[in-house]
Amino acid sequence: MPLHIADYDPSWPSQAAEAIAELAEAVPGLCLTAEHVGSTSVPGLAAKPIIDLMVSVATLDDVTPERVAALTRLGYRFEDVGMPNRLFYFREHTAGASAGERSHHLHIVTADSWDTRNERLFRDYLRANAEAAAEYEAVKRRLAAETDDGFLYTKAKTEVIQRGVDAERTRRGLPLVTVWEEV
């Protein structure tokens, strides 16, 4: 299936807020913090129309079978993406032309890593740097035109993401780390 980069949709932030509210109601007490991350969280930025959410928990063990069942009732399904210290779930559209396509990504991470999460840092960097956001959008559009392989698309964005994360980490006085997380 071809990768689709959509022009910015001003409803993306409200879609994220709605999904965060659903999570808070379905799994009360689990999420210590929840935020909209990813390209759809950057005003004006074109993106794959998937709402990325990141939530913090005290420990990943807090995602108990009962809480997984609640996530499943909301339509989230677990996927092992090989990233350490993170649980990843996705939700798909259920109707219309988008049925079967992913609508949401849910990244569950620990609270002790919250302030240094690259997704949050890169989002903040792009929000504050219009030129960098424009460059990132151009890279995404070019790659989506060149490949329909989601993994290759994601991996090929690493260089521009790394530069942005490095700049934001430097600005905040954080150590530099690779953005490509692997076990």
Reading the chain (183 residues) residue by residue, the pLDDT tens digits are: 578 999 999 999 999 999 999 999 999 999 999 999 999 999 999 999 999 999 999 999 999 999 999 999 999 999 998 888 999 999 988 776 677 789 999 999 999 999 999 999 999 999 999 999 999 999 999 999 999 888 899 899 999 999 999 999 999 999 999 998 764
Continuous H helices in the chain: 12-26, 65-73, 118-128, 130-146, 150-156, 158-172
For residue 109, tell me if it sits in a domain. Answer: yes
Query: Which two three-digit tokens encode residue 53?
Result: 């959410």
For residue 136, tell me if it sits in a domain. Answer: yes
For residue 179, tell me if it sits in a domain. Answer: no
For residue 28, tell me if it sits in a domain. Answer: yes
Contact 18, 165 (CB under 8 A): no
| CA atoms of 31 and 164, how far apart (whole Å) | 27
Contact 60, 108 (CB under 8 A): yes
Q: How many domains does the chain have?
A: 1
For residue 141, tell me if it sits in a domain. Answer: yes
**pLDDT tens-digit series, residues 91-114:** 988 776 677 789 999 999 999 999
For residue 178, tell me if it sits in a domain. Answer: no
Q: Is 65 helix (H, G, I), strand (E, B) or coil?
A: helix
Domain that holds residue 52: 12-172
Task: Please report, for the domain that includes residue 99, its CATH number.
Answer: 3.30.460.10
